[in-house]
Structure 1
């Protein structure tokens, strides 16, 4: 049987970061949303894996998301952020 992959999910925690896109119109989601919130939703909808996508332009968040992916088997990949103009980019 083929895996079902949702190619785009976000995690966020307003207590840890500022999200310019999280306006008053999105007040209903202004709370932490992480792997423990997403896992049961994926299971209830027959989704096997997901791809975690950046929520802000932050290398720190990208590193956190990579660690989160390593700790959660349902995260198949991460679309992170990196400053392509950084002089130390290798």
Structure 2
């Protein structure tokens, strides 16, 4: 017997946010060195894996994860520009 449980929209919102974050992480090559972009993309893959694991058990956490991913990108680029003079 199957239950008619409506699908939660929050995982889709979170994945959309992670897609936006991917664009930011990829565009970091305009201001950051190549090795920093590689590290940032590896961190983004970690966010994606976490989102896939949380898809069913914690769907409301995915939008928060996307916001954390974007905040991490901002802090990483700001820190890199201050500490390492990325331009």
TM range, smaller chain: under 0.3
| Higher RCO, 1 vs 2 (CA within 8 Å, ≥6 residues apart) | 2
| Bigger helix fraction | 2
| Bigger strand fraction | 1
